[in-house]
Amino acid sequence: MANKGALYLIPTTLGDTAETADVIPVKVNQLINTIDEYIVENEKSARHYLKKIGIQKPLQEIILHPLNQHTETKNISAYLNAIEKGKNIGIISEAGCPGIADPGAEVVKLAHEKNITVCPLVGPSSILLALIASGFNGQSFAFSGYLPKERNERIKKIKELEKTAQQKNQTQLFIETPYRNMHLLEDMLITCDAKTLLCIACDITLPTEFIKTKTISDWKKQLPAINKRPAIFLIYK
């Protein structure tokens, strides 16, 4: 029986203006040329990325399997068949490391059930980079994803996160759809204690990167221009 292949978690840049050499280790460039089959969140951006990182094979020879929230488990399972036959497969998400805030985790879960080796590769994670650049507690932290869209619910959640930050001495990380960043920020400024520390980490790894930690009362004096820019918010007491 042939040896099984492996499932590689391929990182991508956090936006098109980032140079791959700045954020992607050379190993990933090399590996790209040994894999013919990918499970991808977005076919167009995956093709664009493979070209950008210097794939040597013609793109027509590469198989891309689409993966989104509507992809059924039986289809994902079929994607992994090639691994049983000895091929390596890569997962490429829309931005950053697969499996953090995208459907990639479902593929990895299934791979473990099939006893397939999963190989995570180093690449940019806006959550991790924001955490280390915030100066907040890195021994205890929690990421909560998107906050509720409805305003009262959102304010309630902000209060809850601030309380948890203090009670557990735990850094709280969360995100918002970029065009709603200013709404979230305004809600935080009226909801949180004046002394609570807020770090805003915006356009991480891009030429326009902006990362700043201040107290709520200091943020109130000057609002940052984060509208429509991808951002991570972190609070800590």
DSSP 136-172: S-SSSEEEEEEPPSSHHHHHHHHHHHHHHHHHHT-EE
**Cβ nearer to a copy of itself, comparing 171 with 181:** 171
Q: How far apart are CA 50 and CA 41, in angstroms?
A: 13
Q: How far apart are CA 97 and CA 8, in angstroms?
A: 11
**Cβ nearer to a copy of itself, comparing 170 with 181:** 170
- Using the Cα atoms of residue 22, residue 25, residue 30 and residue 36 in order, give the sign of their dihedral: negative
**Cβ nearer to a copy of itself, comparing 102 with 187:** 102
**Cβ nearer to a copy of itself, comparing 59 with 78:** 78
Please state the closest distance from residue 61 (CB atom) to a copy of itself, in A: 26
Please state the closest distance from residue 101 (CB atom) to a copy of itself, in A: 6
Per-residue CA distances from 103 to 42, 67, 219, 225 (Å)? 11, 7, 35, 30
**Cβ nearer to a copy of itself, comparing 62 with 124:** 124
| Upper half-sphere CA count for residue 36 (Cβ side, 13 Å) | 8
For residue 70, give both structure tokens: 């509507």
Please state the closest distance from residue 48 (CB atom) to a copy of itself, in A: 19
Please state the closest distance from residue 194 (CB atom) to a copy of itself, in A: 16
**Cβ nearer to a copy of itself, comparing 46 with 116:** 116
Please state the closest distance from residue 141 (CB atom) to a copy of itself, in A: 6
CB distance 85 to 122 below 8 Å: no
Name the helix (H) or strand (E) containing 113.
helix 104-113
Please state the closest distance from residue 145 (CB atom) to a copy of itself, in A: 4
Binding interface with a copy of itself (CB under 8 A): 9, 19, 21-27, 97-102, 104-112, 117-120, 122-125, 127-146, 170, 199, 204-205, 209, 211-214
